[in-house]
Structure 1
Amino acid sequence: MMIAKRQPERKRTKSSFKLLTDYILRSNQFAEKEKIVGYRISNCQFNNAIDLAMDEILMTQRQNKRSNADPCYHLVFSFPPGEKPKGDILADIEHELCKSIGLGDHQRISAIHDDTDNYHVHVAINKVHPVTHNMVEPYRDKIKLIETAEQLEIKHGLVKQVDWEAARQKRRRGERDKPNPPAETLKAHTHQIPFDAWVKQHRAEITALIDPAPDWKTCQANLARLDLQIRPRGNGMVLSSRSEKAFAKLSTLGREYSAGKLEKRLGRFQAAEKPAAAPEKQYVKGPRQPADNRLWEAFQADQQQKKNRMAVLKRATANQKAEQLTDYQQRRLAIRVNPLLSGPNKREAYQRLKKNHQQRLRAISTAAAGERQQITRDHPARNWQTYLVAQAIQGDSAALKALRHPETRKQVLARHALSGPVAEQVNALLTGLKPAIRTNGTVSYSVGKARILDTGNRLQTDTNDPTAITAMLRLARHQFGDQGLVIQGSAAFRQQVITAAATENMPVTFADPAMEQQRQQLQAALHPSAPASPRQPGRQHPPPQHQDTER
């Protein structure tokens, strides 16, 4: 299923087309991220030069002086894991999606990214028309993008995992849970259990406590057994945790539990009282795996230390500015009451004093900014997931295992893959190849222009490049041993694997009998004096030359 959506702006101020383009092209301050696969410029006079196209787009945006709206539109469309359409198909998809929301003729820059399990394209679109210079704000773009994506799936024969018409009928009948994007984002990016998901998981228990209650007092007392309460919020009510700052809509439990229907059944709302006993069960923020507790506690301590240092710096900066302001006011008063200064002299003294005051304030702000940057460098983790990535890069196998939680892994469709005889997860790194760790636990190794992905239980690539395949085989020996390697992929890829193993005279065997026979024959022809590779099953670890390996 292809997904096309508008990426929301992080701030309510106007976004910068230059900054957005730097992000999607992985340039300037974003250069440390994984490189893009390719880029495309559309509807510009200079379609082959990024810098000239950028100047042209910014000049077009400056021509519109009537609108204060954000002139940038950030479109993203992605594909299921393993599906990678060719360039001409991507170009047609991009054009049709932009056309569907009324921005087909607008200037845009797009970039193809392959740094996640989902092949995806970012499109930065100038909402100012290049001819009329009118600002165009797409109307109902969310629905139009979904409908166009459905049509493009059929047109290009893309993987279709959702019956759109059945899904629409189901929505009309109210037979599915409404998604909660913030909760899903929390789940995906922090590996924590969202309260919304916890409520859905325990929905039967919660409703069993609400249904028999004759009044609010009994209802609230029953909910206290799960450390829950119903609270007013805005014009309605929410279900909240008593001990954690966590809320969920009452509609999460079902339509019959809306604020109006509950008040009709239980009477006028009454707030919860202090519970008489400890709860039998409760929602607790934290990692989804109990084994993560050591890392979670270390992460919480790191975040608390960062918070404390920031608070101390904020107070110190405020005190310094207050002292400077007091000093400035006292000096200004001294100038005003000085009988020896004439009018022009006082004016000049005021100007010098104000200039000095502003310089000192700037110096305080600059010093504080430097301290904040240092604190950020000392505590770089922005969230639980980035903390795990940092720890995994340092060689913590438990952190890598936590990133590779089953809920974060997706089924990959058609990739060239290599795995061991036993489908076990190996949380190890070859640090000598300078791996990049993604937030879902996938380790990316770059070999020339090719990329090898290690998901823990298999190695994946999309190339038939002999150098990359040889490196992949060496990684496989390190990860899975020498015996019974399982090869998946096209016939050309499988033949390249056989050739690489035989050419390098690697002591490996393949699980596929036909592949193993071809390898033995080719290896015997290329290395007639070399001993044959052993065929007995069982995992054998690589020789000790991998001294740079951390487990």
Structure 2
Amino acid sequence: MRSRGKSDFAGLVNYITDEQSKEHRLGAVQLTNCEAYSVQDAVSEVLATQFANTRAKNDKTYHLIVSFRAGEQIEADTLVAIEDRICKGLGFGEHQRISAVHNDTDNLHIHIAVNKIHPRRNIIHEPYYPHQTLAELCEVMERDYGLQQDNHMPRRRGAEARAADMERHAGIESLIGWIKRECLDDIKTAQSWAQLHQVMRDNGLELRARGNGLVVVAGDDAAVKASTLGRDFSKSKLEARFGPFEPDQAQQAKPCRQYRKDPVRLRVNTTELYARFKSEQQSAAANKTAALDKARWQKDRRIENAKKKGKARRAAIKLTSGRLTKKVLYAQASSALKADIDAIQKQYREERQAIHETHGHRTWADWLKREALQGDTEALAALRAREAAQGLKGNTLKGEGQAKPGHAPVIDNITKKGTIIYRAGASAVRDDGDRLQVSRESDQAGIQKALRMAMERYGERITVNGSPEFKARVIKAAADGQLPIRFADAGLERRRQALANGENTASAKTRSKRAGVPPIGQPPPPVRRNRLQSLSQADVLHLEGQAGKTPTPPPRGPSEQERRKAKLRAEMDAKRAKRQQMGRSL
């Protein structure tokens, strides 16, 4: 990602490693090419490396985001391998970096903070045309790791691409999008400058000359280049068709339709919601100013009270005796006053930050998300009706039938596509209003909670989609929890019933056991095994009717180990005797 200003490595790492009061936002955090073992120590190490380079004027931090398709769940080892290959492909294989996996959106993604200064050579590395390199790397890794195919090179460029991004992320219809959906066909049918200006007037638009080209201006002064609508609408192409440009001289009449910055058309009616949104945005600035003034006034009063308290303390110290004692007490009073003022200033900064977050400007999609988190069902339905919203994929559960409302699960977050992320023990469950998705790291307890949630919210007839391993875990979780559900798939339902009946039979056998009596068909305990077989190996055997007679055990020869020891001892004695004989001869 490129930013206009120079980024701060410490601030970036604090952001990507911050849980933001969300239990399942932050995944694995990895330190690479760092000598430190903690995040804070690694940040200090990177800052020291960046400080060693005094010649580089460019940004010394590289922020890379690796995002996957919605609903795609990747193994931890695969994520590490993908990160390593991407960084090596960009030339950052030996550079220090800190990465963190985020799970708080519909798309699993990795934030990678890379130090562009080499840790040993202390020179800066700037990747050459990284977008092309990243596109090629992603295409190769999608094939190697079996990931979903995606488009890595933009099909739109310039203003058209930015307008599409605005519609997708903010949810507000852009001028380019409105023209293409409402009146582009009429504009194409114009055969002269007069007809073209007439079409523009009918739609509340105006074609003007600006610089060396043409722009299309709407009523609220929103403007786009005419060539953005298509190559045939550039000034040179239009003049080749209609002759030199002729400005519109006619009086502007009331248009048949006009562009307004309204939400992108959805499957649900959002008129009332958008009216509330506009009203809050108009009053947000005034409310923020009033809240900031109040916070500033409270801060000044607290500082004034702290100073009065310090003044009274110094007056009391003045009445004491002893020069050295007064000096110590005055120092303590000064330190206490400074600490009080620092605490007041810190509290004021926190209040200002909270005010900016509460009364700050929000996009339409962000406002819907906030309202949905506060329990507004209409806002949640509007989020799910957006064009960008898609159904969950992967390991999913879908319920049908009569819902059985039960306990209310804890909501961890809601994405801009209307997906609710619930807390389910150590795992997370996602709900898009139609089905539930269980995270890959979920244990049996998490799957049981997901099954209960699907039964309570959608019905007891459960449809399971996903890998065979996930289906087997779902069957076992349903049988272990004795949940009153049934699977839509006949094969899964038979396996669930067989497993449930088997566990019931096993529990009945366990209850029928008597103390000290082993069940029939099971082997005896180890202390009672092989008793008769060991009698034949005993040294003394007593037979009835032959009391007093002890059979003589058969003679036993030396063992193999004893024979080897004797042979080795004889060889050593022979060598010793030979050395002694040679010594006498000398």
Matched with 1:494 is: 471
TM normalised by structure 2 equals 0.69
Matched with 1:320 is: none
Contact 1:221/1:275 (<8 A) preserved: no
Between 232-241 and 52-61, the greater mean CA deviation after superposition: 232-241
* Shift in Å, 1:302: 0.7
Matched with 2:223 is: 247
* Shift in Å, 1:300: 0.8
Counterparts of residues 47-62 of structure 1 (less than 5 Å) = 48-62=37-51
Matched with 2:485 is: 508
**Percent pairwise identity:** 31
Matched with 1:14 is: 6
Counterparts of residues 255-294 of structure 1 (less than 5 Å) = 255-264=231-240, 265-271=242-248, 273-280=250-257, 282-289=259-266, 291-294=269-272
* Shift in Å, 1:273: 4.7
* Shift in Å, 1:41: 1.5
Contact 2:391/2:432 (<8 A) preserved: no
Report the 3-state secondary structure (helix = DSSP H, G, I; strand = E; otherwise coil) of the residue aligned with 2:98.
strand
* Shift in Å, 1:37: 1.8
Counterparts of residues 88-99 of structure 1 (less than 5 Å) = 88-99=77-88
1:287/1:308 CA distance change after superposition, 3 Å: farther
1:104/1:500 CA distance change after superposition, 3 Å: closer
Contact 2:176/2:224 (<8 A) preserved: yes
- Superposition CA RMSD, Å: 3.5
Counterparts of residues 340-355 of structure 1 (less than 5 Å) = none
Residue 100 (str. 1) matches residue 89 (str. 2): yes
Q: Deviations over 1:375-420 (max 9, x none)?
A: 435536622222212211222111111111251223544x211112
1:371/1:77 CA distance change after superposition, 3 Å: closer
Distance 1:481 1:59 in 2: 58
* Shift in Å, 1:153: 2.6
Counterparts of residues 325-364 of structure 1 (less than 5 Å) = none
Contact 2:175/2:224 (<8 A) preserved: yes
Q: Which residue of 462, 474, 483 corresponds with 1:485?
A: 462
Residue 476 (str. 1) matches residue 454 (str. 2): yes
Report the 3-state secondary structure (helix = DSSP H, G, I; strand = E; otherwise coil) of the residue aligned with 1:103.
coil
Between 55-64 and 147-156, the greater mean CA deviation after superposition: 147-156
Matched with 1:39 is: 29
Between 401-410 and 273-282, the greater mean CA deviation after superposition: 273-282
Residue 416 (str. 1) matches residue 395 (str. 2): yes
* Shift in Å, 1:314: 9.6
| One-letter identity of the residue aligned with 1:35 | R
Distance 1:487 1:416 in 2: 8
Matched with 1:119 is: 108
Q: Deviations over 1:36-76 (max 9, x none)?
A: 22122112222x32222111100001011112221111111
| One-letter identity of the residue aligned with 1:515 | L
| One-letter identity of the residue aligned with 1:261 | K
| One-letter identity of the residue aligned with 1:252 | T
Contact 1:417/1:458 (<8 A) preserved: yes
Distance 1:118 1:17 in 2: 24
Distance 2:183 2:482 in 1: 59
| One-letter identity of the residue aligned with 2:25 | K
Contact 2:203/2:255 (<8 A) preserved: no
Structure 2: gaps of 5 or more residues: 296-344, 506-586
* Aligned positions, number: 455
Contact 2:285/2:359 (<8 A) preserved: no
Contact 1:75/1:122 (<8 A) preserved: yes
| One-letter identity of the residue aligned with 1:17 | F
Distance 2:14 2:287 in 1: 32
Structure 1: gaps of 5 or more residues: 1-6, 318-364, 529-551
Matched with 1:3 is: none
| One-letter identity of the residue aligned with 1:385 | A
Contact 1:26/1:33 (<8 A) preserved: no
Residue 433 (str. 1) matches residue 410 (str. 2): yes
* Shift in Å, 1:206: 3.8
TM normalised by structure 1 equals 0.73
Q: Deviations over 1:207-228 (max 9, x none)?
A: 235x32x23x442222111122
Residue 25 (str. 1) matches residue 3 (str. 2): no
Counterparts of residues 297-312 of structure 1 (less than 5 Å) = 297-310=275-288
Counterparts of residues 185-204 of structure 1 (less than 5 Å) = 185-202=165-182, 204=184
Distance 1:18 1:373 in 2: 19
Residue 208 (str. 1) matches residue 188 (str. 2): yes
Report the 3-state secondary structure (helix = DSSP H, G, I; strand = E; otherwise coil) of the residue aligned with 1:436.
strand
* Shift in Å, 1:524: 4.2
Distance 2:201 2:348 in 1: 46
* Shift in Å, 1:277: 3.3
1:272/1:100 CA distance change after superposition, 3 Å: farther
| One-letter identity of the residue aligned with 1:257 | F
Matched with 1:362 is: none
Q: Deviations over 1:109-146 (max 9, x none)?
A: 11122222222211111111112212222221121211
Greater Cα radius of gyration, structure 1 or 2:
2
Q: Deviations over 1:252-301 (max 9, x none)?
A: 33211102222443423415654223324645523533511111111111
Distance 1:499 1:241 in 2: 61
Contact 1:117/1:410 (<8 A) preserved: no
Distance 2:270 2:384 in 1: 12
* Shift in Å, 1:498: 2.4
Report the 3-state secondary structure (helix = DSSP H, G, I; strand = E; otherwise coil) of the residue aligned with 1:291.
coil
Distance 2:407 2:421 in 1: 11
Contact 1:230/1:271 (<8 A) preserved: yes
1:36/1:312 CA distance change after superposition, 3 Å: closer
| One-letter identity of the residue aligned with 2:27 | V
Contact 2:430/2:437 (<8 A) preserved: yes
Counterparts of residues 28-177 of structure 1 (less than 5 Å) = 30=20, 32=22, 34-46=24-36, 48-161=37-150
Contact 1:200/1:252 (<8 A) preserved: no
